[in-house]
A and B are shown apart, each in its own frame.
Chain A
Amino acid sequence: MIPPRFEYAAPKSVREAVDLLKSRGGEAKVLAGGQSLIPLLKLRLAAPSLLVDINRVTGLDYIRESGGFLRVGALTRVSTLNRSALLKKRYGALHDASLTIADPLVRNLGTVGGNLSHGDPSNDLPAVLLAAGGELAATGPSGDRSVRAEDFFVGTFTTALAQDEILTEARFPVPPPRSGGVYLKVEQKVADFATAGVAVQVSLDKKSEYARVGIGLTGVGPTALKATKAEAAMVGKRATDRKAAQEAGELAADASSPTTDIRGTEEYKRGLIRLLVTRGLERASQRARRGA
Chain B
Amino acid sequence: MEVTFEGEEQDPDVRFVRGTGKYVDDIKLEGMLHLHVVRSPYARARVLSVSGGITGNELKATMESVGEDAGGKSAVSFPALSASYVNYVGQPVAAVLGLDRYDAADKAEEVDVQYEPLRPVIDPEKALASEPIHPGMENNLVAAAELGKEFEVKAPIEIEETLRMTRISPNPMETKGMVAVYDGSNLTVYASTQSPFSWREGLASSLGLKEESVRVVQMDTGGGFGSKGGIYPEYVVAAYAAMKTKRPVKWSETRYENILSTNMGRGVRGKMKVYADREGKLKGLKADILVDVGAYPLGGGGWTARWIASQLVGPYSVPRAYATAKAVLTNKVNMGPYRGAGRPEAAFFMERMMDRLADETGVDAAEVRLRNATSRRTTSPLGMEAPPSKQLFMKALRAFKYSSRKKKENVGLSFFMLIPAAYGGESAKLAVKGGRVKVWMGGSSHGQRHDVFAKSLVSEELGIPQDVIDFQHTDTRSISGGVGSWGSRTAILGGGAIVEASRSLKAAAKKKLGKKYSPARLLEGEYEAEAFFKPKDLLNTLGANMASARLTKEGNAVVDEVVSFYDAGKVLNPFMLESQITGGVAQGIGEIMYEQAIYSEDGQLLTASIADTGVIHATEMPKSVVMTAASRSTLPHGAKGVGESPTIGVPPAATRALEVLLGRRFTTLPIEPEKLWATDVAGVKEVRVR
Interface residues of A (CB under 8 A from B): 1-2, 5, 103, 184, 186, 188-192, 195, 246, 249, 253, 261-265, 267-268, 270-276
- A262 vs B600: C-alpha distance when bound (angstroms): 10
Q: A272-B683, A275-B679 are in contact. Are A264 and B672 (CB under 8 A)?
A: yes
Contact A271 B616 (CB under 8 A): no
Q: Which residues of B contact A1 (CB under 8 A)?
A: 105, 254-256
Which of B607, B611, B683, B684 has the most chain A CB atoms closer than 10 A to its own CB? B683
Type the 1/0 row for B662-685, where 1 means its CB is closer than 8 Å to any CB of A: 000000000011100101111110
Quick check: B674 and A268 within 8 Å, CB to CB? Answer: yes
- Per-position 1/0 for B297-308, Cβ under 8 A of A: 000000000000
Q: Are A191 and B682 in contact (CB under 8 A)?
A: no
Can you identify 24 A-B contacts, CB atoms within 8 angstroms? A1-B254, A1-B255, A2-B105, A2-B106, A186-B554, A186-B556, A188-B614, A189-B614, A190-B617, A192-B611, A261-B606, A264-B672, A264-B673, A265-B681, A267-B682, A268-B674, A270-B682, A271-B682, A271-B683, A271-B684, A272-B683, A275-B679, A275-B683, A275-B684
Kindly provide the distance from the CB of B166 to the nearest chain A CB, expressed in whole angstroms.
Answer: 12
Nearest-CB residue, chain A, relative to B257: A1
Residues of B within 8 A of A270 (CB): 682-683
Q: Which residues of B contact A186 (CB under 8 A)?
A: 554, 556
**Whole-angstrom distance from the CB of B552 to the nearest CB of chain A?**
10
Chain B residues with CB under 8 Å of A103's CB are: 617
**Given A1-B254, A2-B102; 20 other pairs, CB 8 A cutoff:** A1-B256, A2-B101, A103-B617, A184-B554, A186-B556, A188-B594, A189-B620, A190-B619, A191-B611, A195-B673, A262-B606, A264-B673, A265-B681, A267-B674, A267-B681, A267-B682, A268-B674, A271-B680, A274-B683, A275-B684
State in angstroms the CA–CA spacing of A87 and B681 once bound together: 34
Which residues of B are in contact with A by a Cβ distance under 8 Å? Answer: 101-102, 105-106, 254-256, 554-556, 594, 598, 606-607, 611-612, 614, 616-617, 619-620, 672-674, 677, 679-684
Tell me which of B101, B102, B606, B674 contacts A265 (CB under 8 A): B674
- Residues of B within 8 Å of A184, CB to CB, are 554
Minimum CB–CB distance from B35 to chain A (whole Å) comes to 14
A189 and B616 contacting across the interface, CB-CB below 8 Å? yes
Least CB distance, A36 to chain B, in whole angstroms: 14
Contact present for B673 and A263 (CB under 8 Å): yes
A191 to B555 Cα, complex, angstroms:
19
**Distance A121 CA – B156 CA, assembled complex (angstroms):** 55
Shortest Cβ distance from residue A113 to the other chain B in the assembled complex, whole angstroms: 24
Minimum CB–CB distance from A220 to chain B (whole Å) comes to 12
Q: How far is the CA of A272 from the CA of B606 in the complex (A)?
A: 23
A-chain residues with CB within 8 Å of residue B556 when the two chains form the complex: 186
Whole-angstrom distance from the CB of A38 to the nearest CB of chain B?
Answer: 14
Please indicate which of the listed interface residues A2, A249, A253, A273 has the most CB atoms of chain B within 10 Å of its own CB.
A2
* B106 partner residues in chain A, CB cutoff 8 A: 2, 5
Known: A2-B101, A271-B679, A271-B683. A188 touches B673 (CB 8 A): yes
Q: How many contacts A-B (CB < 8 Å)?
A: 72
CA distance A270 to B105 in the complex (A): 42
CB distance from A122 to the nearest CB of B (A): 13
A256 to chain B, nearest CB (A): 12
A234: min CB distance to chain B, Å: 18
Which residues of the partner chain B approach A191 to less than 8 Å between Cβ atoms?
Answer: 611, 617
How distant is the Cα of A261 from the Cα of B607 in the complex, in angstroms? 10
The residue of chain A having its C-beta at the shortest distance from the C-beta of B254 within the complex is A1
User: Complex Cα distance A188/B677, Å?
Assistant: 11
Per the bound structure, the CA–CA distance linking A103 and B617 in Å amounts to: 11
* Chain A nearest CB, measured from B122 CB (Å): 16
Cα distance A276–B617 in the bound complex, in angstroms:
25
- In whole angstroms, how far apart are the Cα atoms of A195 and B673 in the complex? 10
Q: A-B pairs with the 7 shortest C-beta distances?
A: A271-B683, A275-B683, A268-B674, A2-B105, A274-B683, A1-B254, A190-B619
Out of B594, B681, B683, which one reaches A189, CB within 8 Å? B594
A189 to B594, CA, bound (A): 8
Please indicate the chain A residues that have their CB under 8 angstroms from the CB of B677 in the complex.
268, 271-272
Q: Identify the closest chain B residue to A184 (Cβ).
A: B554
Note all chain A residues with C-beta closer than 8 A to B598.
Answer: 262
Query: Which of chain A's residues has its CB closest to B617's CB?
Result: A190
- Give the distance to chain B from A291, nearest Cβ to Cβ, in Å: 22
- Which chain B residues border A246 with CB–CB below 8 Å? 684
Contact A268 B617 (CB under 8 A): no
Bound together, the chains give a CA A246 to CA B554 distance in angstroms of 17
The smallest C-beta distance from A190 to any residue of chain B, in angstroms, reads: 5
CA distance in complex: A268, B672 (Å): 10
* A274 and B682 within 8 A (CB): yes
A272 to nearest B CB, angstroms?
A: 6
Contact check, A262 vs B679: say whether CB atoms are below 8 A apart: no
CB-based contact B681/A268 at 8 Å = yes
Chain A, Cβ-Cβ closest to B675: A268
Closest to A261 in B: B606
Cα distance, A272 to B682, chains bound together (Å): 7
- Bound together, the chains give a CA A263 to CA B674 distance in angstroms of 9
Complex CA distance for A230 and B684, rounded to whole angstroms:
17
In contact, B620 and A190 (Cβ under 8 angstroms): yes
Determine the distance from Cα of A249 to Cα of B677 in the docked complex, in whole angstroms: 17
- Whether the Cβ atoms of B612 and A262 lie closer than 8 Å is yes
Q: State in angstroms the CA–CA spacing of A186 and B553 once bound together.
A: 12
Residue of B554, B594, B681 near A271 (CB, 8 A) is B681
Q: How far is the CA of A130 from the CA of B86 in the complex (A)?
A: 48
Given contacts A190-B620, A268-B681, A274-B682, contact A262 B607 (CB under 8 A): yes
Give every chain B residue within 8 A of A274 (Cβ-Cβ): 682-684
Chain B residues within 8 Å of A267, by CB: 674, 681-682
Query: Which residues of A sit under 8 angstroms from B616, Cβ to Cβ?
Result: 189
A246 to B686, CA, bound (A): 13
Contacts of A249 in B (CB 8 A): 683
What's the least CB distance linking B158 to chain A, in Å? 33
State how many angstroms separate the Cβ of B601 from the closest Cβ of chain A: 13
Q: Give the residues in chain A near B673, CB-CB below 8 Å.
A: 188, 195, 263-264, 268
Q: Which A residues lie within 8 Å of B617 (CB)?
A: 103, 189-191
Which residues of chain B have C-beta atoms less than 8 A from A192's C-beta? 611
Please give, as numbers and ranges, the residues of chain A lying within 8 Å of B682 by CB-CB distance: 267, 270-271, 274
Q: How far is the CA of A191 from the CA of B606 in the complex (A)?
A: 18
Give CA–CA (A271, B683) in the complex, Å.
4
Which residues on B sit within 8 Å (CB–CB) of A268?
Answer: 673-674, 677, 681
- Report how far A191 CA is from B677 CA in the complex, Å: 19
CB distance from B607 to the nearest CB of A (A): 6
Decide: A189 and B679 in contact? CB cutoff 8 A. Answer: no
Q: How far is the CA of A273 from the CA of B594 in the complex (A)?
A: 22
Minimum CB–CB distance from A206 to chain B (whole Å) comes to: 31
B684-A189 in contact (CB<8A): no
Q: Within the assembled complex, what's the spacing in Å between the Cα atoms of A253 and B556?
A: 20
CB < 8 Å neighbour of B674 from A189, A253, A264, A276: A264
A195 to B254 CA separation, bound complex (whole angstroms): 27
Q: Enumerate chain A residues within 8 angstroms of B255, measured Cβ to Cβ.
A: 1
Is there an interface contact between B611 and A189, defined as CB atoms closer than 8 Å?
Answer: yes
Centre residue among B254, B598, B682 by max chain A CB count within 10 A = B682
Q: Which residues of A contact B614 (CB under 8 A)?
A: 188-189
In the complex, A271 Cα to B684 Cα: how many Å? 7
Q: In angstroms, how far is the closest chain B Cβ from the Cβ of A67?
A: 37
Q: Give the Cβ gap from B252 to chain A, nearest Cβ, in Å.
A: 11
Contact (A189, B606) CB under 8 Å given A265-B674, A271-B681, A274-B682? no
Residues of A with C-beta under 8 A to B672? 264
Shortest Cβ distance from A73 into chain B, in angstroms? 29
The CA of A275 and the CA of B681, in the complex, are separated in Å by 10
Give complex CA distance A46, B515 in Å. 77
Smallest CB–CB gap between B595 and chain A, Å?
A: 10
Q: From residue B523, how far is it (CB to closest CB) to chain A in Å?
A: 48
**Shortest Cβ distance from residue B432 to the other chain A in the assembled complex, whole angstroms:** 47
- CB-nearest residue of chain A to B105: A2
